[in-house]
A and B are shown apart, each in its own frame.
Chain A
Amino acid sequence: MKYGNRGMNLPCTCATSGRCYITSQNHGYEVDVTTLKNGWEPLFTNANDNSNEGIWMGQGGKPFFSVQFHPESAPGPRDTEFLFDVFIKSMLESASQGQLVPIDIPGGELAANIALRPKEEVKKVLVLGSGGLSIGQAGEFDYSGSQAIKALKEEGIYTILVNPNIATIQTSKGLADKVYFLPVTPDFVRRIIKHEKPDGIYCTFGGQTALGVGIALKDEFEGLGVKVLGTPIETVITTEDRDLFAKAMEEIGEKCAESASAVNYPEALAAAKKIGFPVIVRAAFALGGLGSGFASNEEELSELCSKAFATSPQVLVEKSMKGWKEIEYEVVRDCRNNCITVCNMENFDPLGIHTGDSIVVAPSQTLSDADYNMLRTTAVNVIRHLGVIGECNIQYALNPFSKEYCIIEVNARLSRSSALASKATGYPLAFIAAKLGLNIPLNEIRNSVTKLTSACFEPSLDYCVVKIPRWDLKKFNRVSTALSSSMKSVGEVMAIGRTFEETIQKAIRCIDDTFPGFGENSAVKIDDIDYEIANPTDKRLFAIATAFKRGYSVDKINKMSNIDKWFLTRLERLSKTESIIS
């Protein structure tokens, strides 16, 4: 092989089950499968270049097998560690029977796997848009809807779109075959279905609005002759209802934050007392964390509950993990259980600020391979257990001083983070998710950029991506500028560069054309930098710059803000460079 197969992201397809695994490799030679004889057969094939990655003696043959990749990973994904179990099982069986017992490769039979989830034969599909723009629901859903429509058109499917927002790409000419400029509400959607009689419906491309419609109509779809494509509505409900979600996570032994749900204030208070203050209160079925926040005493809890119960019938009282790292993964799963994590992201701001209001860095910068793959393995286990088909987003809180972590939430739909991940990696998440909804397996979809390699791969970046939210809080006089667990930003910018310093500078300059970069900023008035750093508002980044100017150390700012020292050291370098050149 010219340059071999090296890296931690090489997809290998198993010959028996058709399953595709992401493997860690370092080899420069391949087996010429045409020369195999005496009962040897290919077992694994590289999904990118079709080179051989493993051989065995076939079903019912002698229990010998060999692989070219590293099933033990380290570094890399742990997808193929099961081969050790196959090896040990073979040893035990052969030893107990005193003869060679054929091995069984897990994952089932290819034919059975295909029969279990055959390709959906749909001719006409309804895609739900997200409706009007609001905080927490903006251009990203226009993007995901447009991608989905493109994917469906590529498959020759007649697409109908419902979206009242005329100022979107997805409603423009040449995309959907038919557009209904009607509100995305259960009533209108029902009437459209009755009129158009589509075969299938996608509810996961229109944010929370479309999901809400899907949940409201879930019992009617069958009667109307419409099939829900992609992630089943039950899965969506499990991820949205925090009680059900906590139970589902318990089933696979994964940790969620200690929490309890409540439907009124006394219940919430009892829960908070049991868990212990400070707590975070979240409203169920809410968009952008609306009506949620931190409470460190009873008064704050009462205030939060009155807000939360105004928008939601149920709130969740959770143990607060303020100061922990917040990490996100974008995971894709197809109908045959193939899973990949397309991108992981680390929040610059520790837990406590809504992701939509956080500065986000992709890929994660301060995780080790063990941390990264611990969370990756969990992400894959979780979405397999939940049965997501398509794309989903999983958020973790990671203790910066140990390996302790817990799952904050799972979004079983295209989200703001998936739009960011798509742009950051170049992986068309929404496009792929729409195809997966038709039960096309991931390894059979071609990479839409190369057209040659498989879409079943994990992009490995050789650059750094920084997203910074844009707030317009100045325009709203009576709104508090404090950032918390409900989202306030109205937009975001993304920058790409080869170093963190370069990237964050680009991003800061993009937010506002009057911002010269990281440094003291006369346009942003900061009265008390100590308070600002400890209690984040939209100006925290500039408060940090001022602090460095005044001689604060990285350790001091880290203690005040819990922002990882790695990020702070990089910002300090920018500040030092500024003082040298000015």
Chain B
Amino acid sequence: MVGYPESLTDPSYSSQILILTYPLVGNYGVPERPNVETSSIPTDQDAHNVPPATHLLDSLPLEFESSHIHVSALVVANYHPSFSHHLANSSLGQWLKEQGIPAIWGVDTRMLTKRIREGGVLLGRVLTRQVNETEERGREPGVLGGVSRLLNGLSGSSLTRSVSNDGLTTNWREDYNVVPFSDPNSENLVAKVSTKEPTLYTATTGSDIKLHPKTGKPLRVMAIDVGMKWNQIRCFRERGVEVKVVPWVSGSWATVGLANGRITTSTPRPTLTTVSSSPTVLVTLPWSRRPSPTLPRRSKTPRHPCSVSVSDTSCSPSLPAPRPER
């Protein structure tokens, strides 16, 4: 239904396979992409979320929550390349291709949703079928192609297979390019999604600019990027507040290490020790093994007023929108 550009670019879905429960996806296409270097670089080559400068953020479509797609694959029930919206610039499929994100449609997502709801989140993978040159040649793609194939007598090989069934259950792997499972929880996802360089976003022009009551300087929030969404920056900027987004860990912030229980063994244990030197800290976690309150409780009370807001999300392959129980 709505929200697929936002969800696909949301860093909290990093490395997850996203299954959309609404069956019709891509209806309103994708708005014009920002001219950010990374947006055309495949995510496996540069997964870092390079935030654009303030003026660029102003020109960005509201539909984008970061500069590129973060999910590892998309699964939908129904897709057609046609789209209709005044902001749309291309189809969803085109955008996924640009970004090198595999996607699959024609899946019974309702059944899949039920399985995941009953069995809990689990590892998944999307495999591509090995292209058989002779079989694929001259095939009309899509549903209509399928209909005409059905009517013109099923294509030889698939008909034989469905009748004789030999090897279908045991050897299906032979037809597919099998990739190993990869567990996103074994990766340092925060490092993957966090910004590399500290970036300052000034308040939106024309907003009610908030000034620091003592210094008279524009009020500034420091946000440690552990998977921040652009709308968080927008929400502050629209309210007349500057946002300085800093990397989750960096040389200049040597003592600010923010992580969680199980990133990798080489990562230091989480500590949030030097917030005292920062004016205000907003922490957003894309991923956490432990309940978030450990963070504020461990932090020392800073000298300067400090509010910590933690939004905690998880990163197992999962459902974006399970059907509500009614």
Binary interface profile of B, 149-171, with partner A (CB < 8 Å = 1, else 0)?
00100000000000000000000
Using A65-B307, A76-B3 as known contacts, say yes or no to A367 and B314 having CB atoms under 8 A apart. Answer: no
- B141 part of interface (Cβ distance < 8 Å): no
Contact B305 A91 (CB under 8 A): yes
- B62 part of interface (Cβ distance < 8 Å): yes
Chain B residue numbers with a CB within 8 Å of A90 are: 305, 307
- B225 part of interface (Cβ distance < 8 Å): no
B305: nearest residue on chain A (CB-CB)? A94
B299: nearest residue on chain A (CB-CB)? A64
Contact A91 B324 (CB under 8 A): no
- A68 part of interface (Cβ distance < 8 Å): yes
- A63 part of interface (Cβ distance < 8 Å): yes
Contact of B314 among A29, A95, A369 (CB under 8 A): A29
- A270 part of interface (Cβ distance < 8 Å): no
Contact of B219 among A32, A92, A426 (CB under 8 A): A92
Using A4-B121, A450-B325 as known contacts, say yes or no to A91 and B307 having CB atoms under 8 A apart. Answer: yes
Residue from B13, B82, B213, B326 with most neighbouring chain A CB atoms (10 Å) = B326
Using A3-B120, A3-B318, A38-B297 as known contacts, say yes or no to A81 and B235 having CB atoms under 8 A apart. Answer: yes
Binary interface profile of B, 285-326, with partner A (CB < 8 Å = 1, else 0)?
000111111011100010011111111111110111111111
Chain A residue numbers with a CB within 8 Å of B86 are: 400-402
Q: How far is it, in angstroms, between the C-alpha of A74 and the C-alpha of B136 when the chains are bound? A: 40
Contact of B323 among A95, A370, A462, A581 (CB under 8 A): A462
Interface residues of A in 408-466 (CB under 8 A from B): 426-427, 447, 449-450, 452-453, 457-464
Please tell me which stretch of A203-211, A305-313, A569-577 contacts chain B, meaning at least 4 of its Cβ atoms lie within 8 angstroms of it.
A569-577
- A216 part of interface (Cβ distance < 8 Å): no
Using A66-B309, A69-B311 as known contacts, say yes or no to A369 and B2 having CB atoms under 8 A apart. Answer: yes
- B38 part of interface (Cβ distance < 8 Å): no
Contact A66 B3 (CB under 8 A): no
Chain B residue numbers with a CB within 8 Å of A453 are: 324-326
Contact A27 B312 (CB under 8 A): yes
- B21 part of interface (Cβ distance < 8 Å): yes
Contact A29 B289 (CB under 8 A): yes
Min CB gap A548→B, angstroms: 14
Q: How far is it, in angstroms, between the C-alpha of A576 and the C-alpha of B65 when the chains are bound? A: 38
- B173 part of interface (Cβ distance < 8 Å): no
Using A70-B229, A99-B305 as known contacts, say yes or no to A84 and B239 having CB atoms under 8 A apart. Answer: yes
- B212 part of interface (Cβ distance < 8 Å): yes
- B143 part of interface (Cβ distance < 8 Å): yes
Min CB gap A25→B, angstroms: 8
Q: How far is it, in angstroms, between the C-alpha of A103 and the C-alpha of B309 when the chains are bound? A: 13
Q: How far is it, in angstroms, between the C-alpha of A552 and the C-alpha of B6 when the chains are bound? A: 36
Please tell me which stretch of A5-13, A258-266, A468-476, A511-519 contacts chain B, meaning at least 4 of its Cβ atoms lie within 8 angstroms of it.
A5-13
Using A28-B121, A66-B308 as known contacts, say yes or no to A3 and B6 having CB atoms under 8 A apart. Answer: no
Chain B residue numbers with a CB within 8 Å of A371 are: 2
Interface residues of A in 20-39 (CB under 8 A from B): 25-32, 36, 38
Using A6-B321, A65-B309, A88-B236 as known contacts, say yes or no to A499 and B326 having CB atoms under 8 A apart. Answer: no
Question: Looking at chain A, what size class is its interface with the partner chain?
Answer: 35 or more
Min CB gap A567→B, angstroms: 8
Using A67-B309, A565-B84 as known contacts, say yes or no to A427 and B326 having CB atoms under 8 A apart. Answer: yes
Interface residues of B in 1-34 (CB under 8 A from A): 1-3, 5-7, 10, 12-13, 21-24, 27-28, 31
Q: How far is it, in angstroms, between the C-alpha of A70 and the C-alpha of B12 when the chains are bound? A: 11
Contact A459 B144 (CB under 8 A): no
Chain B residue numbers with a CB within 8 Å of A2 are: 120-121
Contact B320 A26 (CB under 8 A): yes
Contact of A573 among B143, B280, B296, B301 (CB under 8 A): B143
Binary interface profile of A, 360-387, with partner B (CB < 8 Å = 1, else 0)?
0001111111111000000000000000
Contact A450 B62 (CB under 8 A): no
Contact B296 A66 (CB under 8 A): yes
Contact B24 A464 (CB under 8 A): yes
Contact of A368 among B7, B87, B279 (CB under 8 A): B87
Using A85-B239, A91-B307 as known contacts, say yes or no to A6 and B320 having CB atoms under 8 A apart. Answer: yes
Contact A75 B3 (CB under 8 A): yes
Binary interface profile of B, 96-127, with partner A (CB < 8 Å = 1, else 0)?
00000000000001100100110011000000
- A55 part of interface (Cβ distance < 8 Å): yes
- A191 part of interface (Cβ distance < 8 Å): no
Contact B235 A72 (CB under 8 A): yes
- B129 part of interface (Cβ distance < 8 Å): no
- B85 part of interface (Cβ distance < 8 Å): yes
Chain B residue numbers with a CB within 8 Å of A100 are: 301, 305
Chain B residue numbers with a CB within 8 Å of A457 are: 324, 326
Interface residues of A in 36-92 (CB under 8 A from B): 36, 38, 40, 48, 55, 62-76, 81, 83-85, 87-88, 90-92
Contact of B147 among A84, A363, A564, A581 (CB under 8 A): A581
Contact B318 A577 (CB under 8 A): no
- B130 part of interface (Cβ distance < 8 Å): no
B109: nearest residue on chain A (CB-CB)? A462
Q: How far is it, in angstroms, between the C-alpha of A7 and the C-alpha of B117 when the chains are bound? A: 13
Chain B residue numbers with a CB within 8 Å of A569 are: 80, 82, 84
Contact A92 B210 (CB under 8 A): yes
Min CB gap B288→A, angstroms: 6
Q: How far is it, in angstroms, between the C-alpha of A400 and the C-alpha of B21 when the chains are bound? A: 26
Chain B residue numbers with a CB within 8 Å of A99 are: 305
Min CB gap A539→B, angstroms: 24
Min CB gap B240→A, angstroms: 8
Contact B78 A28 (CB under 8 A): no
Contact of B324 among A364, A368, A401, A459 (CB under 8 A): A459
- B55 part of interface (Cβ distance < 8 Å): no
Chain A residue numbers with a CB within 8 Å of B23 are: 462-464, 498-499
Can you list 8 residue pairs at the A/B interface with Cβ under 8 Å? A4-B314, A7-B322, A66-B308, A72-B229, A75-B3, A84-B239, A95-B212, A462-B22
A residues with CB within 8 A of B: 2-4, 6-9, 25-32, 36, 38, 40, 48, 55, 62-76, 81, 83-85, 87-88, 90-92, 94-96, 98-101, 103, 363-372, 400-402, 426-427, 447, 449-450, 452-453, 457-464, 498-500, 564-566, 569-570, 573, 576-577, 580-581
Give the top 9 A-B pairs by smallest Cβ distance, nearest first. Answer: A75-B3, A94-B305, A28-B314, A96-B213, A7-B321, A74-B231, A566-B84, A369-B2, A75-B6
B residues with CB within 8 A of A: 1-3, 5-7, 10, 12-13, 21-24, 27-28, 31, 62-63, 65, 77-78, 80, 82-87, 109-110, 113, 116-117, 120-121, 143-144, 147-148, 151, 210, 212-214, 219, 221, 229-232, 234-236, 239, 241, 279-280, 282, 288-293, 295-297, 301, 304-316, 318-326
Given A66-B295, A457-B326, A569-B82, 5 extra CB contacts under 8 A? A71-B311, A363-B1, A460-B22, A460-B324, A462-B110
